[in-house]
């Protein structure tokens, strides 16, 4: 059952306000209805504004398969909490009592962190990953899970104190449009954080992007089966490369597998699972479009943001914060 007040919902097609219509038997919200009669169902506790996964079906498969792999409450680590703090630069205490939008929630990895901090969280994803998020974190009195497009967010502009999107925007067809869709959701003075793959010439010197020319054309189930077979031996090759004196860190990058040995505090079993998850995440998405700092900074400025900053000291990815 969505916990957010219906007053923040608007029809993505017309901008009209939406109201909950209750199920006659259960007494629970079953539909969001506009004055002109447009109707959006609430199924499984999730408000639905898109009919299917569209271009993001791989993420639905991914997060329903690995629904709890990266959630701190299930894996016994603080990896997601620490990453959330690093890439947003926010103090978790500041989220308490605030309304927060998670744009691209996946299975709820970072929504859990915001909920634990005391925020009212609206978690959005285009894919059926919303079902994993709802199963992992709901029902919760401060959680609303919504299946919608980032291009047509069904919320009244200015509804949120904080908005974040971590590892999502580069996987959209039009990254500029996706980035610019977020600032209007903020209240005046609201804070935005996003983490995007960074465009670096060195990134394209690894096998990852050339191989995507093949993997993105494969059926997802076939790709997943191949990775299940090849990730374990590739991890062994990656470990062997990493052990080479001086050249190890460079040779390791030539092996197309996500290897967190010595990087994240995972058990051997968890490392294998994370490797399969993130290697699939490299090769399955239809879109993978890294961006430069200057490009993202310009987009946010054009969208009306100020105090736009790159979080220093992060070598991997592009963490950017801004204020509306």
Reported as a pLDDT band with limits 50, 70 and 90, residue 54 is: low
- Three-state DSSP at 187 gives strand
> To which H or E segment does residue 165 belong?
strand 160-166
Reported as a pLDDT band with limits 50, 70 and 90, residue 27 is: low
Q: Alpha carbon of 307 to those of 87, 187, 314: distances in Å?
A: 16, 15, 19
In terms of Cα–Cα distance, which of 180, 166, 203, 196 is closest to 84?
Answer: 166
pLDDT at residue 2 is higher than 90 = no
The token pair at 262 is 């010595």
pLDDT at residue 73 is higher than 70 = yes
Q: Return all residues near 321 (Cβ < 8 A) that are at least 6 apart.
A: 88, 89, 191, 192, 193, 307, 308, 309, 311
Section 58-72 average pLDDT: 88
Domains along the sequence of the chain with CATH: 45-198+290-323 (3.40.50.150), 202-283 (no CATH)
Q: How far apart are CA 144 and CA 73, in angstroms?
A: 19
pLDDT at 226: 96
Contact present, 177 and 151 (Cβ < 8 Å): yes
Sheet of strand 29-33, all strands in order from the earlier edge strand to the far edge:
19-22, 29-33, 39-43, 46-48, 143-147, 120-125, 99-103, 160-166, 186-196, 318-323, 306-310
Q: How far apart are CA 89 and CA 169, in angstroms?
A: 18
The token pair at 231 is 């990730």
Percentage of the residues of the chain whose pLDDT score is greater than 90: 82
pLDDT at residue 113 is higher than 60 = yes
pLDDT at 56: 67
Question: Residue 24 has what DSSP assignment?
Answer: T
Identify the weakest region by mean pLDDT among 50-59, 87-96, 173-182, 255-264: 50-59
pTM: 0.93
Across 95-128, b (16+ Cβ under 10 Å) vs e yields beebbbbbbbbbbbbbbbbbbebebbbbbbbbbb
Section 116-134 average pLDDT: 96
In terms of Cα–Cα distance, which of 92, 165, 183 is closest to 318?
Answer: 165
In terms of Cα–Cα distance, which of 300, 305, 44, 5 is closest to 179?
Answer: 300
Q: Alpha carbon of 132 to those of 42, 52, 302: distances in Å?
A: 15, 15, 35
Place of tokens 């990896």: 79
Full DSSP string of 105-163: -TTTHHHHHHHHTT-EEEEEESSTHHHHHHHHH-S-TTEEEEE--GGG--B-TT-EEEE
Q: Return all residues near 199 (Cβ < 8 A) that are at least 6 apart.
A: 290, 291, 292, 295
């Amino acid at each position: 059952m969505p916990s957010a007040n219906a007053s923040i919902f608007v029809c993505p097609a017309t901008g009209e306000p939406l109201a909950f219509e209750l199920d006659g038997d259960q007494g629970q919200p079953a539909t969001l209805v506009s004055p002109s009669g447009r109707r959006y169902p609430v199924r499984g506790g999730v408000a639905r504004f898109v009919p299917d996964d569209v271009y993001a079906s791989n993420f639905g498969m991914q997060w329903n398969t690995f629904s709890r792999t990266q959630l701190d409450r299930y894996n016994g680590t603080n990896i997601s909490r620490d990453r959330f703090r690093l890439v947003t630069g926010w103090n978790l205490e500041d989220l308490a009592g605030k309304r927060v939008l998670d744009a691209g929630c996946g299975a709820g990895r970072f929504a859990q962190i915001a909920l634990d901090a005391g925020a009212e969280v609206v978690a959005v994803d285009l894919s059926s990953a919303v079902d994993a998020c709802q199963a992992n974190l709901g029902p919760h009195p401060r959680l609303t899970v919504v299946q919608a497009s980032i291009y047509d967010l069904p919320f009244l502009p200015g509804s949120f104190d904080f908005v974040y999107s971590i590892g999502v925007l580069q996987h959209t067809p039009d990254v500029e449009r996706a980035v610019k869709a977020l600032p209007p959701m903020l209240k005046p003075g609201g804070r935005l954080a996003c983490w995007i793959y960074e465009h670096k010439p060195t990134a394209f010197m690894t096998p990852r992007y050339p191989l995507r020319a093949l993997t993105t054309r494969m059926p997802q189930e076939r790709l997943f089966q191949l990775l299940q077979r090849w990730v374990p031996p590739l991890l062994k090759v990656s470990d062997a490369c990493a052990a080479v004196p001086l050249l190890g860190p460079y040779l390791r990058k030539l092996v197309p597998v996500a290897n967190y040995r010595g990087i994240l505090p995972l058990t051997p079993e968890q490392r294998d699972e994370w490797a399969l998850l993130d290697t699939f995440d490299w090769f399955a998405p239809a879109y993978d479009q890294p961006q430069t700092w200057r490009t993202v900074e310009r987009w946010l400025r054009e969208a009306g943001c100020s105090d736009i900053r790159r979080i220093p000291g992060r070598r991997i990815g592009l963490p950017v914060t801004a204020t509306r």
